């Protein structure tokens, strides 16, 4: 799966010649482990940075549009970088075309999941500030 930036459950089932339901169940359990591991680390270690670093995964599984989608580490890192720099969803979609992300809803689902799992830090600059700065640079 490391060779794919983004791969959905149907494609995995077809490539592995396994039943779709079995793949969906496995991806569901992996996605839940992302959340449960974060919660467990917070309970055991408190809200320290050490707990969060240990609980972070390099990949992400998101449930969107009735399917599970696996995202590679490079895709997640690039999206995080764009988010922190103040890009809006449309700009992120354009910048992430090479990573096979198809819709803004997909980006929103990724961002929401990263926020829920406490894997996304605050923006350095807001979307509005970035757009204003970009607009005034051109004058």
Q: Where are the domains of the chain?
A: 6-137
pLDDT band at 52; cut points 50, 70, 90: very low
Nearest Cα residue to 97 out of 30, 6, 1, 13? 6
pLDDT digits (tens, 9 = 90+) for 67-88: 999 998 999 999 999 999 999 9
| CA 38 – CA 54 distance, rounded (Å) | 8
Residue 91, helix vs strand vs coil: helix
Half-sphere exposure of 132 (CA within 13 A, CB side): 5
Torsion sign, CA atoms 130, 59, 23, 13: positive
């Amino acid at each position: 799966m490391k060779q794919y930036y983004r791969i959905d459950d149907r494609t995995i089932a077809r490539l592995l010649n396994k039943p779709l339901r079995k793949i969906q169940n496995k991806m569901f359990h992996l996605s839940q482990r992302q959340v449960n591991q974060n919660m467990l680390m917070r309970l055991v270690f408190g809200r320290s940075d050490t707990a969060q670093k240990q609980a972070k995964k390099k990949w992400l599984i998101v449930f969107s549009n009735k399917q599970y989608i696996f995202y590679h580490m490079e895709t997640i890192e690039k999206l995080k970088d764009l988010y922190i720099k103040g890009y809006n969803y449309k700009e992120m979609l354009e910048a992430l075309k090479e990573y096979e992300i198809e819709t803004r809803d997909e980006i929103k689902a990724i961002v929401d999941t990263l926020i829920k799992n406490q894997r996304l830090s605050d923006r350095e600059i807001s979307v509005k500030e970035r757009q204003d700065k970009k607009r005034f640079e051109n004058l």
